[in-house]
Chains A and B, each alone.
Chain A
């Protein structure tokens, strides 16, 4: 199973919106609505931000949203804040666990 494809880096200014893509195949991202997204700050454990494609766990800001089109899932962060600067990973977990390579978000 190949890793999901994410851009290595994205950036945005405070207050702006950014979108991180996560491309898989018809066997993983395209087949199920089971993509999750994780935020990881340096030296910290990953934190679940989005699950089942678009659901937010309790306590996660509504500035974070998820969507999917075909074999590509997306994470959108609106109203960028300095604390959003982190690495973001997508994951497809439908029988088999496949992670994306990660995207470094820089808030300018």
Chain B
């Protein structure tokens, strides 16, 4: 079945970086753009960015520009999200989510139909 499986929980010190993986299965990896969304404890959902698994192009939310890098490995059907210069406010569950929709002219439109199980990242000294 279609699923996204993420890497395990991480504990990092302030200033460090974290890299979370999301392995796709059950569908053609390169046919669906992938997003990253995070959720701080007790808070709502926050969009971080998107990657095209086919060509590797990315677009990031302004808030994370310069700190986030999204990459993919088509040989293993895996996307990665790396966040650097971590601070306590980055403590959150990080989700990958597949797009249900279309992309045209550099913009995408739709919804998120498949989600990973989430990866808890804790930033603490």
**Residues of chain B from 25 to 84 with CB closer than 8 A to chain A in the complex:** 35, 44-47, 61
Contact: B100 with A100, CB < 8 Å? Answer: no
| Nearest-neighbor residue (CB-CB) of A97 within chain B | B47
User: Measured between alpha carbons, how far is A3 from B46 in the docked complex, in Å?
Assistant: 10
Complexed CA–CA distance, A38 and B114 (Å): 11
Residues of A within 8 A of B111 (CB): 34, 36, 48, 51-52, 91, 93
From 77 to 94 in chain A, residues with beta carbon under 8 angstroms from any chain B beta carbon are 89, 91, 93-94
A47 → chain B closest CB, angstroms: 7
Known: A45-B118, A89-B45. A51 touches B110 (CB 8 A): yes
- Given the interface contacts A48-B100, A102-B44, does A95 sit within 8 Å of B107 by beta carbon? yes
State A36–B45 Cα separation when bound (angstroms).
13
**A residues near B97, Cβ cutoff 8 Å:** 46
Partner of A95, one of B45, B108, B118: B108
| B44 with A93: CB separation less than 8 A | no
Binding site for A on B (CB under 8 A): 35, 44-47, 61, 95, 97, 100-101, 107-113, 115-118
Chain A residues packing against B (C-beta within 8 Å):
3, 32, 34, 36, 38, 45-48, 51-52, 57, 89, 91, 93-95, 97-102
